[in-house]
Structure 1
């Protein structure tokens, strides 16, 4: 299984890295748009759409996003739009996680499908917007989620005693979540030191936050980490409601696309909200 996971990850990187470093926006937009098509297909399947409807939904999402980007991608969204999407995520996460697995299937199917299309589209738009700002802006968002996830895994393995959400994801613990938050704070300090010393103008999120003062920076970083954890839990809830372990088998050894981007979905719009607000 580990070998399969590594092979899949390497193949994904071989596709993503050239698109990320290409100076224009379109290769990255098209590659990530294809991933969003797959994620949209998975979301439709998890929420009761039939095979044909799920395929049409995923393809329509990707085509619609690419057309919208071609038409209006040059015009940045105001901070209020990103804050509105972030607020919507906060409301849905609190409601869904508090109500539990059984309640999710009682939400109207159309509401679930529309919400999925909206948040997948917003995450993709944030993704290509961050890429347009530069690799520093994009990688600082990615690293926050990756570092939080890795630290939470190892911290939970070593110290986990108190379950975070036992009916949704029994493996997650409060100790793991705290480990992830501490690791993100360390990451933010290290990134800021490196950017200021050797990479001025890299446009990472963390120096912008620290420049606003320690209280605001700490609050933002902890909330972003919480959003990452909640996004992961939310996808687990949706999968449990559908009675499946993985969102699909598209990525051998990893599950589906949603399994890889679940924590990013609420974080990316929030990061764009902060970037736009701090500009």
Structure 2
């Protein structure tokens, strides 16, 4: 399993860096669209869409994304506000009440997850401008996840969400948060964040992003547990599926993008 994880990472990392650093906006949009569609396909598998529903759902979403890319569409501020409310208000309630969306609601939830994520990936990487803002957010997710894993493994005793994800601990979450605070101070000094903010603002933003990062992970874990699914797919050997890899990133990209638009 570890060998598979390393080999998969060694293949995917150069592709991601190539797209991030050198692709033009059209190719970047298509690349991010592919990621979003694969994750959406896995989401449909998890919640139990039929083949007919899945096909129509993905074709319709792909058509929308292509049209948005060709038309250079941007989400209006009120949609970003709704996306922000989803992650800061609805998502915690969803986890607390353990909702299981079905039919039309399941479709709507899939779009709420993936569409703002795609727009955010384009927003944070504008044509011919620095990729530092997007890269700093992606690093935040990786640092929070890795920090929580190692701290939790070493000192974790109190379960964070025993029903949804038994391996996560409060100690791990707090450890990951502290490491992110240190990293974000450094990112602020180097001007990576894309917006100017005070030290207090940086700490507050870091705390919010770590919280929604954990929430994104827990939300996907709950969907799988509620539907009796272990991995979203086997597209990435050793890692599960695309949705498994980007669940936290989806939440953080959307919240960070919304805050940039609404700031």
- Is TM more than 0.5 here? yes
Match of 1:121 among 90, 115, 126: 115
What is the aligned length?
Answer: 261
Runs of at least 5 residues in structure 2 that lack an aligned partner in the other structure: none
1:145 to 2:138 alignment: no
Match of 2:82 among 81, 84, 96: 84
Deviation at 1:80, TM superposition (A): 4.1
Distance 2:109 2:42 in 1: 14
Judge conservation of contact 2:184–2:202 (CA < 8 Å) in 1: no
Judge conservation of contact 2:160–2:170 (CA < 8 Å) in 1: yes
My pick for the range that moved more, 255-264 or 53-62, is 53-62
The secondary structure found in structure 1 opposite 2:171 is helix
Deviation at 1:46, TM superposition (A): 1.1
Judge conservation of contact 2:81–2:262 (CA < 8 Å) in 1: no
The secondary structure found in structure 2 opposite 1:131 is coil
Distance 1:17 1:55 in 2: 31
1:273 to 2:258 alignment: yes
The secondary structure found in structure 2 opposite 1:72 is coil
Judge conservation of contact 1:47–1:109 (CA < 8 Å) in 2: no
Please give the per-residue CA displacement for 1:192-238, whole angstroms capped at 9, x wherever unaligned: 33x25xxxxxxx22x73xx4323322222101110000100000000
Judge conservation of contact 1:36–1:61 (CA < 8 Å) in 2: no
1:219 to 2:204 alignment: yes
The secondary structure found in structure 2 opposite 1:262 is helix
Q: Evaluate the alpha carbon distance shift between residue 14 and residue 52 of structure 1 in structure 2; reply closer, same or farther with a 3 A threshold.
A: farther
The match for 2:96 is: 98
Deviation at 1:38, TM superposition (A): 0.9
The match for 1:199 is: none
State the TM-score, normalized to the length of structure 1: 0.87
Judge conservation of contact 1:232–1:262 (CA < 8 Å) in 2: yes
Judge conservation of contact 1:33–1:124 (CA < 8 Å) in 2: yes
The match for 2:6 is: 6
Distance 2:202 2:27 in 1: 33
The secondary structure found in structure 2 opposite 1:268 is helix
Judge conservation of contact 1:46–1:242 (CA < 8 Å) in 2: yes
Deviation at 1:71, TM superposition (A): 0.7
My pick for the range that moved more, 268-277 or 49-58, is 49-58
The secondary structure found in structure 2 opposite 1:246 is coil
Distance 2:97 2:109 in 1: 17
Match of 1:259 among 236, 240, 244: 244
CA-based RMSD: 1.8
Distance 1:9 1:232 in 2: 19
The match for 1:62 is: 62
Alignment of 1:140-179 (within 5 A): 140-179=136-175
Runs of at least 5 residues in structure 1 that lack an aligned partner in the other structure: 197-203
Distance 1:108 1:192 in 2: 42
The secondary structure found in structure 2 opposite 1:171 is strand
Judge conservation of contact 1:151–1:176 (CA < 8 Å) in 2: yes
